[in-house]
Amino acid sequence: MLLQNVGIDPEPVIRNYCGKVVVVNNAGSFVITDSRPIISIVSRDEFDNYLLLRALDEGVDYVVDRVMRISYDEDSVKIVGVNDTYIGKYVIASDGANSVIAKALGNDIRANTAIAFMTIAHGNYFDDACIIDMTRIKWGYSWVFPRGDGEYDVGMGSIHWGNYRTQLINYVNKLGLREGVVLGHPIPIKHRKILTTKRIVLTGDAGGFADPTTGEGIFYAMYTGALAALALRKSGGPQDFSRNYLNLVDPLIRNLSLAYYVSLGTYGIDNLIMGRLGMSAFSIDGTGNLIKNVMSGRVWYSQVIKSMVKSSLIKGLTVIMRKTLT
């Protein structure tokens, strides 16, 4: 939806869609279906290259280099790369989870990060459903997303750091699939303490804008990138640029803070504690709502959170609170 709003049709690079998602937790499993695609699957190199080509169509200059250092003063920003030095008025930084620029601003880039491992596996498994399984890893989930042609994006992510490489390979083999190269990478799940200076703003993983519940960050990277461009367009000077951006990202920061509590509730209280007793605090419809609507970027957490908790649990808690207070 976000891409369509900026005039980009992602269709040519979508490898596969899932209109059916199987969710497994310690209390059981259920299937979520929708007539619209719930999850769209792309290959990152194809998707990123496609976006680059659209940007080139719009006339942007593209330079390949690696940022080594960044410095700034009242009038400009200087970036020292491996090949060259670049001087400009403003920088929209989008150099990912290990951002050199976020670090240069004074952030601890190791703080508040989840970790995920993935591989492209081959073989024969379900081709028409995506699987989200919370029983394979603590404080997170594993996924199986079919890419078509016998290829599957299989991964595991957790807010609890660890080396899940072997666990992932065992999982892939258990599904009857053959693993490919296994890649692991941090995912920042809380916005950085210092998000801007007068002439620099952090977006995407550089800014710590991934979702702590789902681990999704592509939508938020594109969204914060668009907000940074908007902030720049609206600004009359450096002070405005930073202020505009902070104002524009503020609702997103609130949304992702809510997602942080949802992740603690989902993976901690619900899956690890209640799930072991065969119970879940979350309603199937509400969880379906989260996967169908929040993951696809249609709504935000505040709009689904109430529907996620079972009404029987809310009634029970209300009764207990009333009794405690009288």
**Shortest distance, CB of residue 317 to ligand FAD, whole angstroms?**
33
Residues 40 and 266: their CA atoms lie apart, in Å, by 23
Nearer to ligand FAD, 218 or 313 (CB): 218
**Shortest distance, CB of residue 89 to ligand FAD, whole angstroms?**
19
CB atoms within 10 A of CB 45: 9
Nearer to ligand FAD, 95 or 275 (CB): 95
Question: Residue of minimal CB distance from ligand FAD?
Answer: 217
Nearer to ligand FAD, 155 or 286 (CB): 155
Nearer to ligand FAD, 96 or 146 (CB): 96
* Amino acid sitting at position 229: A
Nearest CA among 97, 90, 294 for reference residue 192? 97
Nearer to ligand FAD, 52 or 273 (CB): 52
**Shortest distance, CB of residue 57 to ligand FAD, whole angstroms?**
19
**Torsion sign, CA atoms 119, 124, 130, 131:** negative
**Shortest distance, CB of residue 172 to ligand FAD, whole angstroms?**
13
**Shortest distance, CB of residue 158 to ligand FAD, whole angstroms?**
11
Tokens of 322: 């009333």
**Shortest distance, CB of residue 191 to ligand FAD, whole angstroms?**
12
Residues that bind ligand FAD (CB under 6 A): 66-67, 94-96, 100, 116-118, 155, 185, 187, 204-206, 210, 215-219, 221
Nearer to ligand FAD, 18 or 206 (CB): 206
DSSP 101-152: HHHHTT--TTTTEEEEEEEEEES---SS-EEEETTSSTTEEEEEEEEETTEE
